[in-house]
Structure 1
Amino acid sequence: MKSDTRIACARRIDAVVAHLQATIARGDPLPDLAELARIAHFSPFHFHRVWRALTGEPVGRTVSRLRLLRALQLLRDPDADITTVAQAVGYDTAQAFARAFRDALDASPGELRGRPERIDAAVARLGAPAVPSGPDPALQVEVVSLAPFEVVALRNRGAFADLDAAFGRLFGWAAEAGVVDSIVGLHGVPHADHRDVPPETLEFDCAIELAVQAAPSPPLQRMVLDGGTFARVRHVGAYDRLEDLTDRVLARWWPDSGHALRAAPIRHVFLDDPEAVPESLLRADILVPLEPGHS
């Protein structure tokens, strides 16, 4: 049963890759993440993270790699027109195509056109990254059941490195409201993987849990963090490396765990203050939502 999950994941990824390859070959507009998640039968909450964890690269890099692989196929024709090839694989200009080509392959399209040996070497270079598989003894994951609870939250839009300022606003409000001594937890809900989106577009809910009721004013808001079954793993180190450990959980623990992912966002529980604890000793729990009743 557990190995079947890993095989099923591989088949889902293959289906998405095949769809992307066919779309690029036809010159059609690329599907959005929601459509790719549907093809892969993954929740949109988890698709981009599962993809990165199981393939070793973000979806955008996969698309770029498949575009260049299709371009190399077309460039086997020594008479291929560079601009036509660029447009065929989704680049607006030959200049943008040439930059992407050189960044990935240290060569221009013209240098490889009609040269099968160099094209074969380039195809090999563009192969999918290797991803470790199988058990990870260093991972200590526990499956826990948590009750829902209320928090006071502030949605931050901006770089992950700027979250301290957002939490500072929450603490400032708590001090003014006279409830700062009632803070019993710090929580975070990322709405994207900060490694995969432009910093200015990242949305992240910063939240404080209180032992008392409170009535914040906008843009702060009361919010309920859902309960249920979660995979919990402890991260130690810089908070901007939380997603790296999430990758390991999704790639090395989850496929063989017997648990299905629940359509809800991953959460973080911050256990230390970066201003008071050395970065290497910071602790946080990662909570990956699971469907109940699986084992």
Structure 2
Amino acid sequence: MPIKTLTLTDHARRIARAMAHLAGRLDQPPSLDELAAVAAFSPYHFHRAYRALAGETPVETLARLRLSRAAAALLKSDAPMARIAREAGYASVPAFTRAFREAHGIPPGAYRARAGIGLEEDMLDRVDIVELPAIHLAALPHRGSYDAIGPVFARLTAWAAARGLMGEKARSFGVYHDDPTSMPDAQLRAHAALTVPPGTPLDPGMEIIATPALRCARLRFQGPYVEIEAAYDRLYGEWLPASGEEPADQPMMEEYLNDPRALPPSEWLTDILMPLKPR
């Protein structure tokens, strides 16, 4: 492998390590010096290297992850708004409201009252049956809450970008092996995955997932990732019984169609893919 590619791969791995360190400490965020040490960069150069490879600053990563966690708390708990604001890093509810509205296009109180922004009455009318061709995926495993898989995707993306694998044809998938309501979060199994050419060398800890051609029910969901589970409930509870279809013995997948760092959560697009038995 050329020296330049080796160096870029090494830098990407180190920045991904810093991102994971930050994501695991949202309540007590590490200083820039601590992040630089985790990434084995000089503090004088870490911030520029992070921004170049992550596409955002550490402060922006922290704010984005905290607001995503706040959205999940609004949907999945009855925690007081003041506590959610404080845990998101804001000294007051008005400051949190301004930031949340800027990110999600709706104030947090209205977001909670509406149970999110992505679920629409006619959503199931947009389910279609598609043929997913066989795909070859480089994957990183994740154990734990599906809401916490974001840093794993960040590591995978940094690895792929360093190897020139993030071109226009690259596709990003999540593979979800369990029902998150059926077991404790710590036991949930998933993979963050990207399409790669066969024969691509992997780093330690990575896996190849080769899926066969599949017939799938596809539901295109627009909105924050923390709302997707409610779309699953409707897909299984309403669409599937009325469809006459049977799920195949393959895990659920999600394909992520745009970059969450570049767009507000209201514009994130995800294809929810339910493998089906052949007709």
> Normalising by the residue count of structure 2, what TM-score does the alignment of the two structures yield?
0.52
**Aligned partner (choices 151, 166, 172) of residue 180 of structure 1:** 166
The 2-side partners of 1:212 and 1:146 are apart by 18
Contact 1:158–1:199 under 8 Å retained in 2:
yes
Contact 1:187–1:269 under 8 Å retained in 2:
yes
Q: CA deviation at 1:225?
A: 2.2
Query: Counterpart of 1:283?
Result: 269
Amino acid at match of 2:274: V
RMSD over equivalenced CA pairs, Å: 2.0
2:152 is the counterpart of 1:166: yes
Query: Counterpart of 2:194?
Result: 208
The 1-side partners of 2:235 and 2:277 are apart by 16
The 2-side partners of 1:141 and 1:291 are apart by 16
The 1-side partners of 2:137 and 2:167 are apart by 15
Q: CA deviation at 1:189?
A: 0.8
The 1-side partners of 2:182 and 2:267 are apart by 25
**Aligned partner (choices 136, 148, 154) of residue 140 of structure 2:** 154
The 1-side partners of 2:257 and 2:274 are apart by 17
With 237-246 and 284-293 compared, the bigger mean Cα shift is at 237-246
* 1:13-162 to 2 correspondences below 5 Å: 137-139=122-124, 140-162=126-148
Q: Secondary structure at the match of 2:170?
A: strand
Contact 2:131–2:213 under 8 Å retained in 1:
yes
Query: Counterpart of 1:252?
Result: 238
Amino acid at match of 1:173: W
Contact 1:182–1:211 under 8 Å retained in 2:
no
Contact 1:156–1:203 under 8 Å retained in 2:
yes
Q: CA deviation at 1:220?
A: 0.9
Query: Counterpart of 2:257?
Result: 271
Contact 1:262–1:290 under 8 Å retained in 2:
yes
Q: State, as a whole percentage, how many aligned pairs show the same letter.
A: 30
Query: Counterpart of 1:221?
Result: 207
Query: Counterpart of 2:216?
Result: 230
Q: Secondary structure at the match of 2:159?
A: helix
> Normalising by the residue count of structure 1, what TM-score does the alignment of the two structures yield?
0.50
Amino acid at match of 2:161: A
Q: CA deviation at 1:219?
A: 0.6
Q: CA deviation at 1:232?
A: 0.5
Query: Counterpart of 1:189?
Result: 175
Cα pair distance change 1:276/1:254, threshold 3 Å: same
Unaligned runs of 5+ in 1: 1-135
The alignment of Structure 1 onto Structure 2 pairs a total of residues equal to 158
The 1-side partners of 2:179 and 2:259 are apart by 22
Contact 2:130–2:218 under 8 Å retained in 1:
yes
